[in-house]
Structure 1
Amino acid sequence: MIDNPRSPRVRAVAKLAKRSARSETGLFLLEGPQAVSEAVDFGDELLVDLFATPAARERHGELLAAAERRGVETETVSEAVLAAMADTVTPQGVVAVARQLSSSLDEILAASPRLVAVLEEIRDPGNAGTIMRAADAAGADAVLLTGRSVDVYNPKVVRSTTGSLFHLPFAQGLELEPTLARLRDAGLQVLAADIDGGDLLELRGRGMLGAPTAWLFGNEARGLLDEHVALADQAVTVPIYGRAESLNLATAASVCLYESAFAQRSA
């Protein structure tokens, strides 16, 4: 059992909460049995190490056995060690180290996507992860992160995706303008979610949402810059019929993605 929270191995795992360590190693941190289970199901060569407390070994024996069948080394650690490794206060007794798995834009476009979410300068990890989860649920083909968007491997993003990180392709570190140009060249229209845009319901009525679409979503605090909205084929807003001042970014993105998903499937 590993029981020293200050050991070099424990510190190396804990450092993966920082972007610099993730960039240097090509690894990232997974916390909790649900995320680890998704990673085990993803396939071989994703998980590097798996750590569990004695209590978690009893509760999640099948999960650890499945990981071991895939050749993953599992280690028993003390509660103090797991707390030192984890980014959360309550990591549920299981922490793993995994290899990063992002796709390239070339690979994503080669698959002829019909529905893509583009996140421009999305800085909040919870929003980024929730949009990835919504894109996965809506059957989107990819998520692209441009500008200074949060790192997908940030532990808070990983937790917010609740496993969707392993379900759909994504690419990050892209520049917005050339990315949109390539999406358009691949046959996708670009719709920018913007408070001053046209009514989403109107676009639905005109049949525009059934076409292959890249939805562009902007920063939580200020939205999209005018020059970024100008790169889109059309700006669109989600109408508010009640008294709420606005929708948060992840909720608005979910509505937009699902509207396109409904339209594409009915077409």
Structure 2
Amino acid sequence: MSKGFSITLPDGEYFLKDIDQAAAEAPNFPPVRKIYGYRGGPRKIKAKSRKNKAEMPAFSRVTLEGDYEFAAFYWLEANPLVQWYKPQPFKVRFHDGLTTTTYVGDFLARMVDGSYTIYEVKKSTNLDDPDVAKRLESLQKAFLKTNVKFEVLLSDELTAQPRLQTWMYLYGKTRSALTKKAVLQTAKQEFLKSLTHLGGSAKLIELKKTSPLVNETGLALAIFDGVVTSKYRLPICDGFDAFFTAPGEK
């Protein structure tokens, strides 16, 4: 007669079947993988999350690995569907049909609807590697068996301009998380500063007749989505170009 046995996993490590518990317990322990900066490798970046400071103070300071995770930081800060997030949240063990795999996601996000999503950040060209593509497919299949979503954030999307530069600029301009309300307030200020480039109030009146973006709310959402930005010269309606300049710039 065989004896029963149990396995005790280290803090922050779970079997796939326990991932709901893992997500719920994520705030109770630090990131499970340390980030080290080293010469020739991805740089180590420390950032302050305003969103986490408001919603999950334990993660108000986050450590990121490389420029793509840094871009993901701004993506998460600006994403209105994300309530809070944690880098390197926990280890998950699962059997992919051949071997037992241990996986650590780049970010765990609690969404505003109460669900959880694991985000994996990948350089877009890495998908051309058959081994990487196969591993991501295995992870997607594994997470389909759980209540936690799994999504891949590609570098091409995260670093797309002018959206990333817009978020970085707005993050520096606002004192709170990048809510649409905060962006609207900033957009009003920037729009007034931009009138000299638009040709004054008469031009503004004409523009309002031709473009839904040329009003405070529409412009705020356009800036938030990276359609227009303070750093780039882009059309805001057909046949017209405008500069949106940062304070102190000419």
Query: Do the two structures share a fold, i.e. TM-score over 0.5?
Result: no
Please give the TM-score of this superposition, normalised by the length of structure 1.
0.27
The higher radius of gyration belongs to: 2
Please give the TM-score of this superposition, normalised by the length of structure 2.
0.29
Which protein has greater RCO, CA pairs closer than 8 Å, 6+ apart?
1
